[in-house]
Amino acid sequence: MEHKFYINSRHGYAVMLEQYKAMHEQIGNARFLPNHDMKKDIVYDIKPEFGKGTIQIYNLLGNVMLLIYDFVFYEDIVTVFDLTDNYFEIEYCIDGRMYIEAESIWSKKIVRFGCLL
């Protein structure tokens, strides 16, 4: 079974961040890092029914964020992006696999995260 999430930037950056937050809260339990600002530095511990590991989010400058995905999922997690506004993202997979399928290089991409156990 796969779990599918949709992220789009049609209504601006703030709305897109809320979509990410909803996705992260569905697959993980939030905890704040020590000395955190309420809008910065959060960790999501992946819920056991989805897999194991963490998603760490660091807000660096303005709209610049660093997300570190360190997890293994038991099933496919599919994220369908529709990034129609100005948006830039770098994704790098250190270990395991992340499948990226681009329907249109400038608008949509589909990402499958994680390794199956």
Give the per-residue pLDDT at 47.
96
Give the per-residue pLDDT at 27.
93
| Containing structural domain, residue 84 | 3-113
Give the per-residue pLDDT at 38.
57
Encode pLDDT of 96-111 as tens digits: 777 666 665 554 444 5
- Which long-range contacts link 26-33 to residues 24+ away (Cβ below 8 Å)? 27/3, 27/77, 28/54, 28/55
Note the pTM of the prediction, 2 decimals: 0.76
Rounded distance between C-alpha atoms, residue 103 and residue 92, angstroms? 20
Rounded distance between C-alpha atoms, residue 19 and residue 95, angstroms? 26
**Residues of the chain predicted below pLDDT 70:** 34-39, 84-87, 92, 99-117
Q: Could you give the number of structural domains in the chain?
A: 1
